[in-house]
Structure 1
Amino acid sequence: MMAQPPAAALAAALAAAPARDTRLPQGYLSTRGSQIIDAAGHDVRIASVGWNQHFNAIQATVAAIAAAGFNTVRVSWDDADLAAARRLLIQIVAAASRSGLKVIIDHHNDEGFTNPRDGFGAQQRNGLWFDRGPGTNDTNGAGVVGTVTAAQFQTDWVTIARTFATNPTVIGFDLDNEPTANGHITWGGGGPTDIHAMAQTVGDAIQAVDPGALIIVEGPQNYRTSFADRGPAPAGDLTLAGRIPVKLTIPHKLVYSVHEYPTEISDVRPDSGPAAIAQMNRTWGYLVTQHIAPVWVGEMGSSMRSTNARAWAATLLGYMNGKDGTEGGPTFRPGEQPVPGDWWVWGYLPRQAPDGTLNAAGALRPAQSVAWRQLLPLNTEVPR
C-alpha cells in the first residue's frame, strides 16, 4: 500500500475549491467534430485526475477530488485482478455519483503489478493489450507467463462494461494504457497486433452492452518513427487516424488519446517550445485543428519543481488551450471547449515522479495546482 495522508486531512483539499461549478452535465457524452458534447449538444471539457493507489476513505477522496475542481477521475483495472478491480470500481463509481463526479475506466495491463521490468505494471513490457496467443511470445514481456488472449481481453472488457451499463456516471472506457511499438503494433492492415482493428472490434463489443459510453483509443507510443514515417510519436502515434479512422457501430462516441510528460519523466525530447508544438501538430493535434475527432490527453503531470517542468507545462497547456494557432496548433471558437486532459496523479506519493497532487497534510500542492487548474472547463454557463 502506498503512503497516503490521514483520511481527515483530505478535507484540506476542499478549502481550495474553485469559485464556479466545473462539473459535467448529467447523462452520457458524445462527440461532434473535435468537441465532446453533452446530451443537449453543449460543448464540454473533461478535466480529470488519475487514481492509482489505495485510499481507505473512498467517499472522502472522491469528494476532495470533486471539490478541487476536477469533474472526472480515471481509474485503472487489469485482467489478473478483474474480480477485485470490479468490486473497487463499483465502490468508486458509487462514491463519484454521490459527489457529482464522472468516471473513465482504463485497462492498464494484463498481469497486474509484476516486476520492475515493466514498472510494476505501469506499462506492459510487450507493448500490447494481450500476452498470450498469436502476436506474442506467450509472456507479458517482463518474464511473466501470459494468461490473457485477445479474445479474453475482449471478454473482460465486456464484463466491465456490462457492470456499468445504463450508469452515466461512467462516461468512457480507455481501451488500453500506453500500447507501444515494442509489440510490433500496426494501425491497419490486419493481423493480431493491428490496434486499429482491435479498437473497432472491442469498441463494438462494448457498445453492444453499454451504448452510451465514449470509447477511448490511445495512440501507440512510437519512439523511432511514426506509422506515417514522419518522425517519432512518443506521446502516442495518431498520424494515420485521420486517414484510417476507427469506425464504431454507434457513431459520435470515439475519442483518441495521448500521454504527454516532461523529459524528467518520459526521457523524451523536445518537451517544450516550438519543436514540441510541431511534434504535437504532426502526431495528434491535426485531429483537433481539422475537426476530425476529439483528443483527450489521458495522462500528463509533473511534480513541477524544475524550470524544465514549468516550460513543459507552459507549452502543453498553452497548446491545449488554443494559444498556439499561429504555429499550427488548435484554436477554439466562442462556446467551444479546449482540449481535455487528465492530471497524473491524485494523492500523496512521496519519492515518486510525479509525487501526487497532495502534500503529507492532505493539502493541494500549489505548484501543481497552478498547472492543472488550466485544464478546467471554460465557464460557458452550461446548465448542470
Structure 2
Amino acid sequence: MRKASVEVVFSAAGWLPYDPYMTFRQVRASLVLRLVLLLALVVGTTSAAFAAPVSAATVAGPVAAASSPGWLHTAGGKIVTASGAPYTIRGIAWFGMETSSCAPHGLDTITLAGGMQHIKQMGFTTVRLPFSNQCLAASGVTGVSADPSLAGLTPLQVMDHVVASAKSAGLDVILDQHRPDSGGQSELWYTSQYPESRWISDWRMLAKRYASDPAVIGVDLHNEPHGAATWGTGAATTDWRAAAERGGNAVLAENPNLLVLVEGIDHEADGSGTWWGGALGLVGNAPVRLSVANRVVYSPHDYPSTIYGQSWFSASN
C-alpha cells in the first residue's frame, strides 16, 4: 500500500448517545457493540488519539473524568496538550439541540447539571453537542421542564448553559453541526433554506462566542456527509474536502486554538460504500489543509452490524 507524506490524526468512532437513564453497565454493554475499528487508510501516520469513550475490554467500573486539558493541538498522529502530552478524548454525544426541541433531550426528567455529573461519573471527558442551524436562530426551546434555569431561554443561551455546566463538571465540549434544519439529516453541509454562507457565518459566530473558553475544544464541521458529497473533486457544490477547508478556516479565523473535526463521505474512489461519514480513503492524496497548522482531526463514523451492517461483516475472508 502506497503511503502518502501527509501526517494526520485519525479516529474511527460512532459517537455513543447519552441517555439520562443509562447505567454504567449499559454503557459498557453498548461499547462492546461499538468497539472502535482503527482502519488503515492510505494516509501517513495514524493514531487512536480520538477514541470511543472507554475501552470495553479494559474498563471494570466508572472512572472519574479528568479536569479540562485546555487548548489541544495535533502533533504527528496524536492529539496533545499545550505541554505536548498525548491526550485521548473520551466522548459522548448528548442529542437534542439538532431537533425541533432545540435543547438536549431528557431535561424534562433531569437537570442539565445532573446530566453532566452523570456523564462525568461514567468516565467521559467530552460532550459532543449536536445542533442545527435552524435552532441557532430559534427563539425558544421545549422539553426542559426539569431544569427551571433554562425556562424562557433561546437555544443559544441554552448552549451557553451546556458549555458552562460541562465545564463545572470537568468536561469539555465539541460543537457539532449535525444538520442545517431540524427536520432531518442532510447529505451535504447546506440546503436551499440554509446555504453554505449560513453554515460558515454560524460557525464563525460560535467560534467567536466561545473563543475565550478553553472548555470548547473543537468543532465537528458537519455530521456524516453522504450521498452527493464528494472528496477532492473540485466540484463547487459537493466537494466536502474543499468545504471543510472553507469552514475550518472560517472557524480558525475567530479562534485559532480549536480542533477541527472532519468526517469522511460514504463511498471510496473505487465506488465501494461504507457508513455515512466513514470514507476517508482519499485523504492521503487530498488532505484537508487549513490556515493554522496542527488543527485537523479526521473523524470517520464507524458502526457495528447491529446498527448498520456492511458486506465485509459476513465475508468469508
TM-score (norm: length of structure 2): 0.69
Q: Deviations over 1:206-262 (max 9, x none)?
A: 00111111001000122xxx12x2733335111111111111111001000111111
Counterpart CA distance in 2 for 1:42 and 1:271 is 36
Counterpart CA distance in 2 for 1:158 and 1:271 is 41
Indicate the residue corresponding to 2:312 in structure 1: 270
- 8 Å CA contact retained: 2:275, 2:303: no
Residue identity over aligned pairs, in percent, reads 31
Counterpart CA distance in 1 for 2:76 and 2:197 is 32
How is 1:291-330 mapped onto 2 (pairs within 5 angstroms)? none
Counterpart CA distance in 2 for 1:249 and 1:99 is 33
Equivalent position to 1:214, from 241, 259, 267 = 259
**Runs ≥4 residues deviating over 3 A:** 2-6, 271-275
Matched, 1:37 2:98: no
- 8 Å CA contact retained: 1:263, 1:269: no
| Amino acid of the structure 2 residue aligned with 1:33 | G
Matched, 1:233 2:274: yes
What 5-or-longer segments of structure 2 have no aligned partner?
Answer: 1-17, 28-60, 97-104, 138-153
- 8 Å CA contact retained: 1:173, 1:214: yes
Counterpart CA distance in 2 for 1:33 and 1:3 is 35
Aligned-partner SS, 2:299: strand
Aligned-partner SS, 2:211: coil
Distance of aligned partners of 1:55 and 1:195 in 2 relative to their CA distance in 1, 3 Å threshold: same
User: How far apart are 1:160 and its partner, in Å?
Assistant: 1.5
Distance of aligned partners of 1:267 and 1:17 in 2 relative to their CA distance in 1, 3 Å threshold: closer
Counterpart CA distance in 1 for 2:120 and 2:171 is 6
Indicate the residue corresponding to 2:178 in structure 1: 108
Equivalent position to 2:295, from 253, 275, 279 = 253
Aligned-partner SS, 1:183: coil
Matched, 1:94 2:148: no
| Amino acid of the structure 2 residue aligned with 1:208 | A
How is 1:135-174 mapped onto 2 (pairs within 5 angstroms)? 147-174=193-220
Distance of aligned partners of 1:272 and 1:162 in 2 relative to their CA distance in 1, 3 Å threshold: farther
Aligned-partner SS, 1:161: helix
Aligned-partner SS, 1:103: strand
Q: Deviations over 1:324-347 (max 9, x none)?
A: xxxxxxxxxxxxxxxxxxxxxxxx
| Amino acid of the structure 2 residue aligned with 1:103 | V
- 8 Å CA contact retained: 1:78, 1:85: no
What 5-or-longer segments of structure 1 have no aligned partner?
Answer: 115-120, 133-146, 276-384
- 8 Å CA contact retained: 2:65, 2:121: no
- 8 Å CA contact retained: 1:86, 1:160: no
Distance of aligned partners of 1:61 and 1:44 in 2 relative to their CA distance in 1, 3 Å threshold: same
Distance of aligned partners of 1:272 and 1:39 in 2 relative to their CA distance in 1, 3 Å threshold: farther
User: How far apart are 1:273 and its partner, in Å?
Assistant: 8.9
Counterpart CA distance in 1 for 2:20 and 2:279 is 35
Per mean C-alpha deviation after superposition, the further-off stretch among 21-30 and 84-93 is 21-30
Q: Deviations over 1:20-78 (max 9, x none)?
A: x5526531100011110001001110110111142320011101111111000111110
| Amino acid of the structure 1 residue aligned with 2:172 | K
User: How far apart are 1:188 and its partner, in Å?
Assistant: 3.7
- 8 Å CA contact retained: 2:248, 2:290: yes
Indicate the residue corresponding to 2:285 in structure 1: 243
Aligned-partner SS, 1:75: strand
- 8 Å CA contact retained: 1:29, 1:214: yes
- 8 Å CA contact retained: 1:37, 1:44: yes
Indicate the residue corresponding to 2:119 in structure 1: 65
Matched, 1:204 2:249: yes
TM-score (norm: length of structure 1): 0.57
Equivalent position to 1:50, from 76, 93, 97 = 93
Aligned-partner SS, 2:261: strand
Aligned-partner SS, 2:301: strand
| Amino acid of the structure 2 residue aligned with 1:232 | G
User: How far apart are 1:266 and its partner, in Å?
Assistant: 1.3
Counterpart CA distance in 1 for 2:231 and 2:91 is 29
| Amino acid of the structure 1 residue aligned with 2:221 | L
- 8 Å CA contact retained: 1:128, 1:185: no
- 8 Å CA contact retained: 1:24, 1:44: no
- 8 Å CA contact retained: 1:204, 1:248: yes
